[in-house]
Amino acid sequence: MYSSILRQDAAGTLPFQTAGQPLKTNPPPPTRSDASLPNPPRVTIHSGAKARYDQPALGSASTTYASSISHDRTTRSAYSSMESQAEGQSIRGGRQGREHDEGASVYSYNSFRDVNKYVKELHGRIFNNLNDAYLLPSDEDEWARLDKQGSAIAIAFNGPYPCPEVVEAVLLPEEGRTKRILDIGCGTGTWAMQMAVRFPHTSVLGVDLAPPPIDQTSFPPNLSLEIDDVNFGLRHFAGQFDLVHMRCVSGGLANIDQTILDLQECLRPGGLLLIVDGDIALLNEDRKTIHPFIRLPEDGGPEITAVSEQGSWLRRLIWEACISCEISGACLTRTDEVDDLGLWDAPLCDPETACSGGVDLPIGPWPQGKDLSETQLLQYVGVLVRQNLLSIHRAYHSIMLKNGMDQATLDEWSSNVEKELRDLNPRMWLRFRFMMARRRAGEGLPAPPLPTAPTPDPLTSTAQELEDAEQRRRPQVRYPAMDIYYTREENMARMRQRRSTFGTFPPSVVKTRWEKTQAGT
Ligand SMILES: C[S@@+](CC[C@H](N)C(=O)[O-])C[C@H]1O[C@@H](n2cnc3c(N)ncnc32)[C@H](O)[C@@H]1O
């Protein structure tokens, strides 16, 4: 079954859904072990290489290209025929750090020759070519948006990750072994790059569907990037990583439960899984209740309680776009449940090490903090989030057009969204939830104890070691809209509270139009 669907995928049509399939049926993801499957491409960008994926070069023969992104695969595949047609390909055997990948080959990537393999143009934007469910583009505008979003989250976390006492303990140097970090859906590669710089004794690998925009001048030696679709499984990484991070990738996942299992399998014993995801249910000013959707004429009667005349266009557009993603094969409804549950029941992780939480980012510079510095912090984050959302809502159009919406309606929705964002009315928060847990030492065993940093001896330590130790002792600056839940009970209480304000949803306009298109009416 999957092989035929995936052959369609390789030809550029829907990967996980065929006409008439029910909307919420997300098939289990394909696996690399199925010999009938085409093996998806994995492209590795080595730190030594002059890797620069030059977006303006797309479709332009006159630009010069760095043929320096290498393409790594475990076995020959359906994509091999595409490779062999490509001029001047060079395949050489094996690659450091992937010894277990028998038969691995490295393929020199040339952006001019190969670009259509990895990206395609749709409605004037550039999209990845591996996964049709993932709705957002991969181009300059999207990279700028992602970096703003990443900065806003990092301000709220007070660094690239929450709970630094756990993350930094897990990454403490260990004699005789290089610690490894995996960033799934690395986007621009910024987070992976920050981690490589911050932890120079580690080796960092970022994986994404699309070639990331690499800045050659700042590419650290301990960073590499691969192109791959994680829906095909991650068995080739089993037991290798000390930290596995995945942020805001759910829109491209076919089966979140399977992916979370795969991510746990990538961990070494004691390794940490950290997942961060945006919550599409925008919050009211009180940070507790969910803001209603704008009411549309086709929404139905008073039994539909999740809508209101004062409801939000932004909330509606984001939700309709997510329904569109589901139509194309993503599992966002299930992701929302999984994000609510945290990792207390993750089979390979120790529940004693689980925690969850979230940061609420204001949509626009409207909040007042308890003092001037808090107000400035919140409002700066608000500006970044508003810019991010002003960019994202039109990026959603492509996937909705594909599923039967018309441009005039989408333009009308988008201008209402822009007005809302400009007027800062309604005042809302965008929440990013996180969950983390460490892998057990073995089946049925707790996780090994967290490594502890040795206290540096003031007589023999370097100034840098003393400064680092001092830094660890300093109290963290606390973003005022952050929550952490250390127990399953606290997490469940938050989940129940959130769900109690959902209300009854309207029928989705996108889904109704898509069903009509499918029925040919
Ligand atoms: C919203 S962006 C987030 C990027 C980055 N993690 C960040 O937080 O800035 C999601 C990224 O995940 C990638 N992605 C989505 N589905 C994927 C999949 N199945 N396999 C690999 N990468 C995926 C997309 O290409 C995109 O770059």
State the CATH number of the domain containing residue 147.
3.40.50.150
C-alpha 383 to ligand 1 mean position (Å): 23
CB of 126 closer than 6 angstroms to any ligand 1 atom:
no
Exposed / middle / buried, residue 374 (Cβ in 10 Å: 0-12, 13-18, 19+): middle
CB of 128 closer than 6 angstroms to any ligand 1 atom:
yes
Residue of 465 and 248 predicted with greater confidence: 248
CB of 508 closer than 6 angstroms to any ligand 1 atom:
no
C-alpha 4 to ligand 1 mean position (Å): 25
Q: Map tokens 């999209």 to a residue.
A: 127
pLDDT at 521: 67
At residue 123, the 3 state secondary structure works out as: coil
At residue 127, the 3 state secondary structure works out as: strand
* Model confidence, pTM: 0.81
Nearest C-alpha to atom 25 of ligand 1 is from which residue?
A: 209
Asked if residue 292 belongs to a domain, the reply is yes
| DSSP labels, 229-250 | -GGG--GGGTT-EEEEEEES-G
C-alpha 187 to ligand 1 mean position (Å): 5
CA distances from 488 to 340, 354, 492 (A): 11, 8, 6
Asked if residue 74 belongs to a domain, the reply is no
Over residues 175-192, the pLDDT tens digits come to 999 999 999 999 989 999
Asked if residue 25 belongs to a domain, the reply is no
Nearest C-alpha to atom 11 of ligand 1 is from which residue?
A: 185
Residue of 258 and 9 predicted with greater confidence: 258
Asked if residue 304 belongs to a domain, the reply is yes
Residue of 317 and 119 predicted with greater confidence: 317
pLDDT at 104: 28
Nearest-angstrom CA–CA distance, 343 and 520 = 43
CB of 392 closer than 6 angstroms to any ligand 1 atom:
no
Residue of 444 and 121 predicted with greater confidence: 444
Asked if residue 64 belongs to a domain, the reply is no
Q: Which atom of ligand 1 has the smallest separation from the CA of 208? A: 22
| pLDDT of residue 143 exceeding 60 | yes
Nearest-angstrom CA–CA distance, 175 and 132 = 44
Q: Which residue type occupies 451? A: P
Nearest-angstrom CA–CA distance, 495 and 505 = 18
Q: Residue 336 sits in which domain range?
A: 119-489
CB of 210 closer than 6 angstroms to any ligand 1 atom:
yes
CB of 187 closer than 6 angstroms to any ligand 1 atom:
yes
Q: What's the whole-number mean pLDDT along residues 124-151? A: 81
| pLDDT of residue 440 exceeding 70 | yes
Q: 426 preceded by cis ω (within 30°)?
A: yes
Within 13 Å of residue 206, how many CA atoms lie on the same side as its CB? 30
Asked if residue 141 belongs to a domain, the reply is yes
H helices of 52-136, in order, are 78-85, 111-118
Nearest C-alpha to atom 16 of ligand 1 is from which residue?
A: 252
Q: What's the whole-number mean pLDDT along residues 20-31? A: 38
CA distances from 236 to 2, 240, 241, 430 (A): 20, 9, 12, 35
pLDDT at 126: 77
Asked if residue 103 belongs to a domain, the reply is no
At residue 125, the 3 state secondary structure works out as: strand
Retrieve residue 456's tokens: 């540096």
pLDDT at 136: 79
Nearest C-alpha to atom 13 of ligand 1 is from which residue?
A: 185
Nearest C-alpha to atom 18 of ligand 1 is from which residue?
A: 229
* Pocket test residue of 138, 207, 209, 275 for ligand 1, highest count of atoms within 8 A of CB: 209
Nearest-angstrom CA–CA distance, 400 and 317 = 10
> How many structural domains is the chain composed of?
1
Asked if residue 44 belongs to a domain, the reply is no
pLDDT at 52: 30
Over residues 381-418, the pLDDT tens digits come to 999 999 999 988 998 998 899 889 999 999 999 999 99
| pLDDT of residue 103 exceeding 90 | no
Phi, psi of 29 (to 5 degrees): -70, 155
- Sequence-ordered list of residues with C-beta below 8 angstroms from that of 143, at least 6 positions apart, any chain: 187, 188, 213
Instruction: Identify the CA nearest to 322 among candidates 355, 293, 289, 297.
Output: 293
Q: Which atom of ligand 1 has the smallest separation from the CA of 131? A: 19
* Pocket test residue of 135, 249, 255 for ligand 1, highest count of atoms within 8 A of CB: 249
CB of 252 closer than 6 angstroms to any ligand 1 atom:
yes
Nearest C-alpha to atom 15 of ligand 1 is from which residue?
A: 252
Over residues 443-486, the pLDDT tens digits come to 999 999 999 887 878 888 888 878 877 776 665 558 999 999 99
Retrieve residue 413's tokens: 């929705």
Nearest-angstrom CA–CA distance, 262 and 259 = 5
